[in-house]
Structure 1
Amino acid sequence: MMENKLSPTNELLFKVPAFEGPLDLLLHLIKKNQMDIYDIPMAEITTQYIEYLHQLKELQLDVAGEYLVTASMLVNIKSKMLLPNEQATNETVEESEDPRDELVQQLILHQTFQEAAQNMRGYADERMKLYPREPALLPEDAKLGKLDPDGADLAQLQKAFARLLAKRKVERPVVRKIQPERYFLKDQINYLEKLVFNAKRPIEFSEIFAPEAELELVVTTFLALLELVKQGAIKATQSENLGPIELVSGELNAIKSSQN
């Protein structure tokens, strides 16, 4: 049960394993004795468990109340299994419930959490081996907040996109499927450039998203729009708060300005 060894002064020292509760101790005993967790020999496991508690008391170590409660539960299960089963003589009565079932379920659940915690510690160790890249300095000529001095800013485009997604979610339930990437930013940039440049009128923000388009396509199209607005190829304007956002070609807008 306990590891012991001789110290340099030939004194017998005990090494008491640290258990996180009685279930942890029971799992340790089951694994150490190579027992079947679904068919626990209650007489043997109860004896070893109580023996461990006695050894702790002999070392003058405090035993938490939960360990004693579990010990009484083991003794109770053991006694139930030793009693004759009165229902066994009645063939019409279904097989009686195994008194170990609740204990087995608790042990399996505890073991599941143990494995999950061990995996999380492994992930943390792997993360500690990584070194994040320091954030790059912003260029001095970078435009923050405003995508265009005379156009709609980033916050307005984000709010418009959020309203669009909310409307789509209400009108049609979202179905998630794991699929390989099918929509690319470069393709949507070319699509928007041609759409807006060839239009004879300003295009409303919502018009660039087809009603039946998948969410991945909608997101890719929105990212393409942000890139084009940032480059000045498309200009986004909004005449009033919460009003429609209109998109025009940056080149077309420049030609109109020169004519005026």
Structure 2
Amino acid sequence: MAYLVKLEHFEGPLDLLLQLIEREELSITEISLAKITDDYLTIIRTAKEIEPEELADFLVVAAKLILIKSQILLPGIEMEADEGPSLEAQLKLYREFLEASKRVEAMLAEKRVMFGRKKPLIERVPEFLPPSRLAAETLARAFQAVLKSLEPLFRLPKIAIERAISIQEKIARIRTLILDRVAVKFGEIMKEAKSKTEVIVSFLALLELVKQRAIEAKQDSLFHEITLHKHHEIPSA
């Protein structure tokens, strides 16, 4: 529905009014922009439906008319040499955007959320093409050689597990030493140990023998060597 302007000095489409004013065939001072706006608002209120294109056309033309009239009423404002795109160009651009938005809306309504690409990013997928003269056996040997070269990276480390001597075995060893000799230094027993584990086992074996009262231990002073004797054979101090 095209909006027709009805004024004292003009009656016709709004865009025609703008063209007459721009060609100076009609004075902007004789035009009441307030009446034009009020009339259009009345149409909007009474109309059942207003097309977005018509509303946009009115806003663009009305804005242009307001600019022209403000420049006439305010002489201090000079017209710029380049006022940008013409009204016709602005309306054309707006309609293009409006049509594009309608197409996008229609595609979304159809749940078309995928769009094709004219040219793929990768024109050709890289692939392995062995020489035509390459035999399957040769290729198999090459793969086996590669796998063999990778074995050190995936081979589990081999750890030698040493047999740990038991407390009972160490007790028997200490008994033998004390029976063969009058006294045995604690340090001598520790020197026989080949690992930290055996040192601990030796110490536990000595504690067990002392607990069983099979041997007695004597230390002359703090931090001195501990001497081990058979029970009741500790020499007098």
Per the normalisation by structure 1, the TM-score is 0.28
Whose relative contact order is higher, 1 or 2, with alpha carbons under 8 Å and at least 6 apart?
Answer: 1
